[in-house]
Amino acid sequence: MSALGIGVVSFAHGHVNAYCNRMKQWDDVRLVAAWDDDAERGQAQSDTFQMSYSPHLEDLLSRRDVDAVIVTSETNRHAEHCIAAAEAGKHILLQKPMALTLDDCDRIIAAVEKSGVTLQMAFQMRCDPVNIQMKQMIDDGVLGKVGTLRRRHCIGVLFNPGFFQGKTRWHVDAVANKGMFMDDAVHAADFMYWMLGKPTTVMAEIGNVLTDVAPDDTGMAIYRFPDGAFGLLYNCSATVAAEITTEIYGDRAALHHYYGDGVSTHYAPENAAPLKLMRRGQTQFDEIRIPLPKVHGERIAAVPRPWIDMLKRGDAPVCDHRAGRISTSMCLAAYESAESGRRVEIDYGQ
């Protein structure tokens, strides 16, 4: 296959810059054109990546030399832009979360399935070798029956005025993005689904604890899975520092994961072991050494390679349009629980 032509639908979400910086190094990809409703931002970023810019979305989507698009607009506009891209026959890499409502998720799903294009969610946690190793260990039965999975996924952006006062301030807009738990905990929700399948219920608390610049800065959710397992999700957007990221406890072994998110990566000492496994009957942890990224941005930049390879081979997406709805459902149910003060059954639709 010749080089794939890639378009960008909005530079609103900063992760797209990491994707484009990585893709411009590859011979099997051409960064062709972009649209952005912020003309200053769109022109500047298009110039940076040597792409053609247009203030009209139809100009981008009508181009025959664009095979696929990256949708990185504000979250409340995902449905609008994914439907337009699908109707134009463009494959889609969609920034998380899929949408802010289940109705919008269903509209995206309908458009993708009607058009026959593929949609892959941009979850960098599925591209991380350490996470892939944990998934393999669960699937291989190394841990036995999993009873508890706790995932901490944190960032420190709400301590950075540039984040909530500059071009990225839409992240703290309740209309554009609902809240920081919706924006960031969706990574951990997808991780839990990937590891253990779909949980059935959730109890949660979400609110502002350390800041007041966003609809929420901290959330904790307890998910229950069909076999009774607990999934504990902790998310905070105002975290100064951290190390341990994941704990998984099974009836055969315990697995600890370190240095796995934005606030923990750069605290890893040289040659650190990101995984430590204690089998039942042992008296000390075994270290599992896998190369760690020096900065969290390396994880983000890893997203487009599996997507491009999938498009070239014609494989099914790693995390497709229906999987994208699941993590959205998990986060929306957590908000419903926090607002109502009760356990909530998670709506996965049909």
pLDDT at 349: 86
pLDDT reported for residue 144: 98
Q: Give which of 93, 92, 87 is closest to 115, Cα–Cα.
A: 87
Q: With contact defined as beta carbons under 8 Å apart, do 162 and 169 qualify?
A: no
Q: Binning pLDDT at 50, 70 and 90, where does residue 163 land?
A: very high
Q: Is the predicted pLDDT of residue 315 greater than 70, yes or no? A: yes
- The pLDDT of residue 2 is 84
What pLDDT sits at residue 1? 56
| Residue 189 pLDDT exceeds 90 | yes
Average pLDDT over residues 7-30: 97
pLDDT at 18: 97
Q: Are strands 218-224 and 230-236 parallel, antiparallel or unpaired?
A: antiparallel
pLDDT tens digits for 26-41? 999 999 999 999 999 9
DSSP class of residue 170? Answer: G
pLDDT tens digits, 120-142: 999 999 999 999 999 999 999 99
Q: Are 130 and 273 in contact (CB under 8 A)?
A: no
Q: Read off the pLDDT band of 69 (50, 70, 90).
A: very high
The confidence score (pLDDT) of residue 178 equals 97
Q: Across all residues in the chain, what is the average pLDDT?
A: 96
Chain centroid to CA 128: how far? Answer: 12
**Segment 58-63 mean pLDDT:** 98
234, with CB counted inside 10 A (0-12, 13-18, 19+), is middle
Query: Tens digits of per-residue pLDDT, 81-110?
Result: 999 999 999 999 999 999 999 999 999 999
Q: What angle do CA 30, 31, 35 make, to 5 degrees?
A: 150
Closest by alpha carbon to 223, among 240, 190, 253, 199? 199
Pairing of strands 146-154, 201-207: unpaired
Q: Please, is 42 exposed, middle or buried when counting C-beta atoms within 10 Å of its C-beta (0-12, 13-18, 19+)?
A: buried
Rounded mean pLDDT, 11-24: 97
Work out the widest C-alpha separation in the chain, in whole angstroms.
64
Q: Which domains does the chain have, with CATH numbers?
A: 4-117 (3.40.50.720), 125-299+329-345 (3.30.360.10)
Share of the chain above pLDDT 90, in %: 96
| Bond into 97 cis (ω within 30) | yes
Taking alpha carbons only, the member of 229, 161, 236 closest to residue 199 is 229
- Segment (H or E) for 234: strand 230-236
